[in-house]
Structure 1
Amino acid sequence: MKQSTARRLPTLGLRANAAQFALLVAVNALVGAMVGQQQTVLPLIAQSEFGLSGYTFVFTYVAAFGIAKATSNWFAGTLSDRYGRKPVLLAGWLFAIPVPLMLIAAPDWGWVIAANVLLGINQGLTWSTTVIMKIDLVGPARRGLAMGLNEAAGYGAVAISSLVAGGLAAEFGLRPAPFLLGIAYTALAILLSGAFVKDTRPHALLDAKLNPGRTPAAPSGTAGAPTNRQIFALTSFKEPALSSASMAGLVNNLNFGLSWGLFPLLFATADLSAGQIGMLFALYPGVWGIGQMFTGALSDRIGRKHLITAGMLTQAAALSVIALGHGVAAWSVGTVLLGAGTAMVYPTLLAAVGDVAHPSWRGRAVGVYRVWRDLGYAVGAIMGGIIADRLGLQAAVWMAAALSAAAALAVAGRMYETHLPPRAPAHEGDARATLPPHHAST
């Protein structure tokens, strides 16, 4: 009887949870694909069907998406810590159901904005939850690898879906063909999440129990775990590693938000076809997605800080190439570099947050980090739109390059290394494996 009970207990480690981990990778690919179906197409619809020429107005749908996603990230973290992960994941997919239907039927731009509010809620709830669930499953030893695989699946799917949607738009028109993809993605995700995904909160509780020496980064003089308000302050401003990650994440997604609204319009100035624009846009998340399969694991070996710094500098260089270039060849080089820099940063930032945050409030810390990171969509869209309207498209890209370089310098100066090699090697499936030392203030 005791052996049977032991077999039912959760175990930490990637190999021990391979089936559930792979299922969550597939679900997160569908999350990313929901974004990819519209990225290439919506800026073209704005110009050709609704006659929108002001960049600021065109970018409103990206801002709406970013604000909705950032806000729902907080609720995803808080609710998943309180009620479990799976209910939040399922709720997120319910918000996706009307999105492709609204984009197909949209009689004006207001419908597009409303659809992107719902899409932002879907993305915040589902993507945040799959991140938290993977961190729960793998334990401390393979956290970077887990985040690399998660983000590779999501952004690889963004690239593939963007490319397919661009091809459908070129062959069959801007509507409805590209958005039929979203209907299929949502139906499959609800089936997988409802029937096969298991809640991982017991794994987080096990992590906290097996690693009692890992204390919350609570403010000095505070007993016990920090409150929601304290977690927000720590992750946003006070704790050096958490707040540095939040700042770098915001700038990273500022670049993505800018590219989402601006790149198709910039590429269209060279009289490229919808298919060519789709290909160029797909290079960025494609390299980003594939690269994360390696950079996440690399951060487990060499640490987080220097990879984040180098990644932000690479993004600054890439944006400079895009601003200076013109035509498919130059822009291909720039988007590939931008994807590589983002791959270095994206899973590594999530792993760093997981290094510092205690399992008992990990969901909330991840949620706050993702609030700041995904506000970058809105900041990039609004700032990029205003600058593009007044100074031109290239000026908006130069702004993003300068901010990326500044973020790299800030991380280099303030962030400490959150992941150090464990004192003794441990098998990844061994639930007794100890956490690597960290420097979170206690």
Structure 2
Amino acid sequence: MNTGSQFARLCWVGFLARFSYALARNPVLPLFALTLGAGPEAVGLAVGISTVTGILFKLPSGALSDVIGRRRTMLAGLVFFGLAPFAYLFITDYWQLVAVRFLHGFATAIYGPVAMAVVADIAGARKGELLSWFSSVGIIGGLLGAPVGGLMLSLTALPEGGYAPWAFPMVYAVCGLAGFSALLLGFRTLLREEQVAGGGFGERLGRFVSGIREVSSDRRVVAASAMEGVQNMSMGALEAFLPIYAVTVAGLSAFEAGLLWASQIVVTMLAKPLMGRVSDRAGRKPLIVTGLLCCAVSFAAVPWLAGFWALLAACLVFGLGEALVTSSSAAMVAELCKANQYGTAMGVFGTIFDVGHAAGPIVAGLLVASLGYAPAFAIISALLLVSVPWFVAATRDVRKGAAEGRNS
């Protein structure tokens, strides 16, 4: 199978997997939790518990893939995509939902870093471009999952309120079918001979531990991953509080608030492949720095804007900044490591990414509650700005052409 055909199949696997996962998450999951009697705090736990799985297991999953093989590890992640959704059909109380969400989190915890490593393996000198295309296809799947899930619930809504008894089982059955389709296509794509280092259990365990130690101690890998984490923290904060600000402060409708968030995602999705190609040629660091500056300025501006078009402009700039950072950071991490450590590197990257994603809404919530929107957004923007000189200093010995897109 040539590289183009293999990459196309990987993209289809990624699309189906992300569609399935998004279908299970929002807005279906919070509404399902409410029907089980969950309060606001309990809903938050049900939504966030799968991120905890990622924080705990992305790094060891990525490192394990370097030892036993990336393709078989990726298939293990796809097994969770394909089978875990059917567990929702048997849920009868809230704590069962929390347990299933934690279990479902293994899907992205295992699949996420390993899939990126598989793409990096076949990308050669086009790491930035192909990793960005792969990410954008996954974003499309995630974008479709949420409205499809919402539409399915809307069609089953009862006149007196609530939903038909079979509404949530129907959604999660479709979720399971999409995930199982990703698993079947994954088997066809990934069940091939793969070169992995031999040795007994002790030797493989030693490589597993040394790989984690070597990658995690590389300040350049940590710095590049941290830029994605910091940017993702601001993105999580914007995701949580842009709709609330737009409706309660700026006086916009919920529909307009949704358009604002959708515009940011669409710009990121469309710009990432192009920015990835640019970073392959011009280098990773300039794009990461420029992207962080775009995110910082546009994020800080949000509380000072009131009209729809002004907020839309800020969201478009933020989306472009996100594309600049995310199209380059993962590729830079891959290029800073040996090829046989891509999985570990992406595990470190994914763990820091998840920490930022989980921290963003929490930090923003505490700051907004105590200080208000303008100071809260300014503090988070300042964190983005402060991270830039640290990143530049930490990666000062990264030469263009060595780890910025010129070599594979």
**Which residue of 371, 383, 407 maps to 2:363?**
383
Equivalenced residue count is 386
> Please, what TM-score do these two structures have when normalized by structure 2?
0.80
The amino acid of 2:135's aligned partner reads E
In structure 1, what is the Cα distance between the partners aligned to 2:361 and 2:322?
18
* Corresponding position: 1:125 with 2:110: yes
**Which residue of 114, 120, 135 maps to 1:151?**
135
1:253-402 equivalences under 5 Å are 253-267=232-246, 269=248, 270=251, 272-273=253-254, 278-326=258-306, 328-391=308-371, 397-402=377-382
In structure 1, what is the Cα distance between the partners aligned to 2:240 and 2:87?
19
More helix by share: 2
Cα 1:186–1:264 shift into 2, 3 Å: farther
**How far is 1:27 from its partner?**
1.2
Tell me, yes or no, if the aligned pair for 2:54 and 2:105 is still in contact at 8 Å. Answer: yes
3-state SS of the aligned residue for 2:190? coil
**Which residue of 37, 46, 69 maps to 1:84?**
69
In the other structure, the counterpart of 1:432 is none
**How far is 1:383 from its partner?**
2.3
**How far is 1:17 from its partner?**
0.9
Tell me, yes or no, if the aligned pair for 2:28 and 2:150 is still in contact at 8 Å. Answer: no
* Corresponding position: 1:36 with 2:22: yes
Aligned-pair identity in percent equals: 21
In the other structure, the counterpart of 1:218 is none
The amino acid of 2:349's aligned partner reads Y
In the other structure, the counterpart of 2:200 is none
In structure 2, what is the Cα distance between the partners aligned to 1:257 and 1:133?
27
The superposition leaves residues 264-298 of structure 1 with CA deviations (integer Å, 9 ceiling, x where unpaired) of 5555535744x655544333332222211111111
1:56-67 equivalences under 5 Å are 58-67=43-52
In the other structure, the counterpart of 1:5 is none
In structure 2, what is the Cα distance between the partners aligned to 1:245 and 1:47?
37
**How far is 1:300 from its partner?**
0.6
Cα 1:396–1:334 shift into 2, 3 Å: same
Cα 1:43–1:251 shift into 2, 3 Å: farther
Cα 1:190–1:291 shift into 2, 3 Å: same
Tell me, yes or no, if the aligned pair for 1:59 and 1:381 is still in contact at 8 Å. Answer: no
**How far is 1:134 from its partner?**
1.0
In the other structure, the counterpart of 1:189 is 182
In the other structure, the counterpart of 1:431 is none
The amino acid of 1:21's aligned partner reads F
The superposition leaves residues 133-169 of structure 1 with CA deviations (integer Å, 9 ceiling, x where unpaired) of 1111122x11111211111111232223334444445
In the other structure, the counterpart of 1:213 is none
In the other structure, the counterpart of 2:145 is 161
Tell me, yes or no, if the aligned pair for 2:237 and 2:364 is still in contact at 8 Å. Answer: yes
Task: List gaps (5 residues or longer) in structure 2.
Answer: 158-162, 198-205
Tell me, yes or no, if the aligned pair for 1:63 and 1:382 is still in contact at 8 Å. Answer: no
Tell me, yes or no, if the aligned pair for 2:82 and 2:183 is still in contact at 8 Å. Answer: no
**How far is 1:115 from its partner?**
3.9
In the other structure, the counterpart of 1:242 is 221
The amino acid of 1:366's aligned partner reads M
**How far is 1:358 from its partner?**
0.6
Cα 1:128–1:47 shift into 2, 3 Å: closer
The superposition leaves residues 279-328 of structure 1 with CA deviations (integer Å, 9 ceiling, x where unpaired) of 44333332222211111111111000010111111111232233334565
3-state SS of the aligned residue for 2:132? helix
In the other structure, the counterpart of 2:160 is none
Tell me, yes or no, if the aligned pair for 2:21 and 2:81 is still in contact at 8 Å. Answer: no
The amino acid of 2:139's aligned partner reads Y
In structure 2, what is the Cα distance between the partners aligned to 1:99 and 1:333?
40
Deviates more, 1:250-259 or 1:306-315: 250-259
> Please, what TM-score do these two structures have when normalized by structure 1?
0.74
Tell me, yes or no, if the aligned pair for 1:321 and 1:334 is still in contact at 8 Å. Answer: yes
The amino acid of 1:60's aligned partner reads L
In the other structure, the counterpart of 1:21 is 7
Cα 1:113–1:342 shift into 2, 3 Å: farther
